[in-house]
Structures are given as C-alpha cells and as structure tokens.
Structure 1
Amino acid sequence: MSGFNLRFLGHSTVRLELGGRVVLTDPVLTSRIGALTRVVPAPDPRYWADADLVLISHLHGDHLHLPSLRLIGASTRIVVPRGSGSWLAKRGFRHVEEIAEGETITDGDLRITATRAVHSGHRWGPRLTHGPQSAAVGHLVTDGATTVYSAGDTDLFDEMAGLGPVDVALLPVWGWGPNLGPGHLDPERAAVAAGLLRARIAVPVHWGTLAVRGLSRTARMRRLLIDPPRRFAAAVAAAGHPCDVLLTEPGENVALPATTDLA
C-alpha cells in the first residue's frame, strides 16, 4: 500500500491519498452545519486544499454541504449521484459529474464505482417530495492494488457481500443525534457490514463530530459522541471477523499497518 494514506477529518469526511490522487468523501469542513454544531476542531485547510476529487454520496446537508464545497473551490471535480448534477452546477460549481449505481469513472490511475446505498436521497429528508432528489450511493475506489469502500450513509443490503473483499471499509457507525432513523448503520449492524464486505481493515466514521446545539451537554449525547466506534470494534471482535478496526479520532491520521502486514 505504498503511497496510500487516510485521514479521518470528521463525520463522513475522509481524506484519501491513493494512486497519486487526493480524494475527499462528503466534505464537511466548517464549525456549523445548519442546526448542528461541530464538537471537535474544524480540519486544517492543508488537509483539503489540494483535493483532486470530491465524492458525494447523497444530498443531505451533512454530506453535500455547499459552504464546504465552496471552500474547496468551484473548479474542483465533484462527483454526485446521478440526477443531482444540474442542481449543484446552478450553484456555481463548474466541474460536476454524475454517477449511478454500477457506473464507473476514472481519475488518473483511480477507478471509482458507485454502489448501492439504502438511504433517503432527498435533499430535505425522506418525508418530503419537493426539491432535489437522487438515489444515494456508496463508492468503491481502487488503484488496481488497493480498494477502499466508502459507504456514505446506508443500511445493510444483500448485495453488500458482492462488493468485497475490500482492503479498507469506511463504515458509518452512528450520526449526529440521540437516535438513528431508517437507512443507517448502528455499531452492531456496521459490524455485520464489515463481515459481508470481507474487509481487511475497517475505519468507523460518521460519529463524534456533530451534534444538535445544546444536546452535546447531555449525558446521553456525550456517550454517543464517544461510544459507537468502540461498540463497533467490540462487535467485530465478538463476531470473529478477520478485520482490523482502526478507531481514529476526528481530525487524526489513520494508523495503517505496515505494507508487509497487509500482504
């Protein structure tokens, strides 16, 4: 895995260095996102300013965040679920491409394939019908030697087993509130996903970063900002999956094993 690096920037945002490219997933880079406040420091700009490619899994505001995309730059290549490109282009972004489940694009030596995701694709939530909507996706990113699966937001689905084996799975293990709605993985279901994917390494994401203003002071929310990835690691171990869970705090570099350990 020479030249391969990961940094968990918080929530679903991961900086992926692979195949000589820098890829950002679902970038959320600011201290506030609507009614949500960031409970950890915002990422240093040096970790997103050189992005070659941005992957957007779905249209929810904590995954497609317009102020964060404007920080990265209107000319950066942004890949969005099919059907949402014109909506984003109308907001001034000049290099927007669409991809649907099963479709593949290339960026240098990288191949990015959209996968199924079981999650609402509506911008404003599953109960509304007006406004932009497109099917949520995950992404498989590979340089031919290393494959990373970025789930975005999803629940379990049978076809997940057909995506593996993967070298690294970026799996959501919680969210930003005291409860999870439909279309999400909790720590135990994320452990099932790690097994289905036959992931050699799993990095828990979508936790410990955002909370509704004021709720972060409650005892339950304080636990939910800390516990989910640890529950995930425990569930993976209890299931006997041959998967290394690399629990990484928001903002930190993922401590990947040495190349020889992954041969």
Structure 2
Amino acid sequence: MHGLAMRFLGHSTVRMELAGRVVLTDPVLTSRIGPLRRVGPLPAPGDHADVDLVLISHLHGDHLHLPSLRMLGDVRIVVPRGAGAWLRSKGFAHVEELAPGETLKDGDLRITGVHAQHSGHRWGPRLTHGPQTRAMGHLISGDGATVYASGDTDLFDSMSFLGDLGIDVALLPVWGWGPNLGHGHLDPHRAAEAVARLRPRFAVPVHWGTFAVGGSHLLPKLRRRMRRVLVEPPRTFAEEVAVRELGTTVILVEPGERVPLPVTT
C-alpha cells in the first residue's frame, strides 16, 4: 500500500508511517506495567525516537502508560476529551483532546475519533473516583489510505457504518494480558465478527502475546493457560476470518515485527 508502513511493537502499540508523519498508538515501551511483565521483545529506541503524534484510546494503564510517554519527549499527544487537564498535571505540555465524531489534522494526516465499547475510567469500570472519559478508536487517513485503530472495544452497532467509509487496514484486539477477558473486549471470534462488519482490506490482530501476569509461571495450571493465550488468539482469529470467507486478508505478525503490507502505485 503506497505510503503506509507499520510495525507491531506489542500489545496495542503500533508504529505507523503515513503521509510523512510517524504515529504511535497507545505506546507501552517498557519491560513491565505494574504486575505485568513483558514476554515479547522490547521496542527498539529507533521505533519511537522520531514520533510526531501519539494517539491514546483510553485511560487504562496498559494504554495510557505514563513512563512510556515520558520516553517520547515533547511529542503531540491526543487523548480522549476530558483527559487533557489530568495528563497535563503529570507534566505533559503538548496535549490535545479528541472525542468520537471530532477530527483533527497533523500535517497531511486526518485523525477522526470513533466510538469504542469499553470502560473509559482510569482505574476500571467499578470505580467512580479518578479520571473518567469515553474510550474511543481512531480513523487515521492520508495519502489515499485509511487505518482503523479500534483501541479496546467490544462489538458495537455502528461498526458497519465505519465499514461503509472504506477501511484499508483494521488494527483489531484479539485478546489481552491475562488468562481471561473482561467485559468490553474482543476475543478471536468476536474480532472475526468485527471484520465482517468493518470489511477492511487487511486486518492486523493486536493486543496479544506481549504481557503476562508476573509469577504466573509458578502455577502449573495457570502457566499452561497463559502459554495458550499468548500464542493462540491471533491464529484462531485468522482461521475464523478464513472460514467465514469475509474477503479480508489477515496479516499476522509477532510483537516487534514489521507488517508486510503490499505496495501499490
């Protein structure tokens, strides 16, 4: 695809080069997030040294990760509307807000916020104190290509409307970091249904194979479960999309790998 290059850095972090800009989605660049330990490779410094724009889908600590944002320097950070003042209070100066239905530009890139079916509270859906915003996804368009970065989400009705807009690449979560999934997430089967609604040319499974609960290797039953969920979800997703004959090509890459998109002229 002419003008678009991508690398899956792990979890929901994707480096995207499009329309002369470098974008990072939900950057997590460290070896740990609290009790979670990285089991895939650390992103190389060159993967985030020249970033122009950071897109944050929601406030959970594995998507808005303060230590990783500090590694990026004075970069433009786009957060869900209502989170700007909180993030600025943490020492970040170049913060802008975006809500579903709103659009901003960065050079020749056009970023549109879209709905996500997920909790937007910093500490989880059961708490009422602390930062609270709507979770969201992003449509990133430029040079004739459109990428949908869903962030964490479950299925929602207007996914079919997004498909009507024409999506070249969909970055879709297929699991998480634990042995089980909570509400507001896509598993491999629901992610395949998302493909049916979105109808992208290509789908890249993300949000898998990167983090595990620290100490899980000490419990045999949990260790076996984690071995499966660190490997199987994107493969099950690809198989489901193929069986349903949806016309979308799944590009499965391991954390740290370049996404081999076709080059068109």
Flag whether TM exceeds 0.5 (same fold).
yes
Tell me what 1:109 maps to. 108
Tell me what 1:214 maps to. 215
After TM superposition, give the deviation of residue 4 of structure 1 in Å.
1.1
Tell me what 1:181 maps to. 182
After TM superposition, give the deviation of residue 257 of structure 1 in Å.
1.8
Stretches of structure 2 that go unaligned for 5 or more consecutive residues are none
Amino acid at match of 1:129: T
Q: Does 1:204 align with 2:209?
A: no
Tell me what 1:193 maps to. 194
Tell me what 2:238 maps to. 233
Alignment partner of 2:69: what SS?
helix
Cα separation, 2, equivalents of 1:199 and 1:193: 10
Name the TM-score, length of structure 1 as normaliser: 0.97
Change in Cα spacing, 1:150 to 1:216, as seen in structure 2 (3 Å) is farther
Deviations 1:20-66 (A, max 9, x none): 00000000000000110000121001001100000000000000000
Tell me what 2:43 maps to. 43
Deviations 1:100-127 (A, max 9, x none): 0100000000000000000000000000
Tell me what 1:94 maps to. 93
Contact 1:216 1:222 in 2 (8 A): no
Amino acid at match of 1:174: W
Contact 1:32 1:38 in 2 (8 A): yes
Cα separation, 1, equivalents of 2:217 and 2:187: 19
After TM superposition, give the deviation of residue 216 of structure 1 in Å.
4.8
The percent identity for this pair of structures is 68
| Residues paired across the two proteins, number | 259
Cα separation, 1, equivalents of 2:143 and 2:193: 26
Deviations 1:4-33 (A, max 9, x none): 100000000000000000000000000000
Name the TM-score, length of structure 2 as normaliser: 0.96
Deviations 1:134-178 (A, max 9, x none): 000000000150000000000000101111220000000000000
Change in Cα spacing, 1:216 to 1:102, as seen in structure 2 (3 Å) is farther
Amino acid at match of 1:16: M
Cα separation, 2, equivalents of 1:105 and 1:114: 9
RMSD: 0.9
Tell me what 1:146 maps to. 145
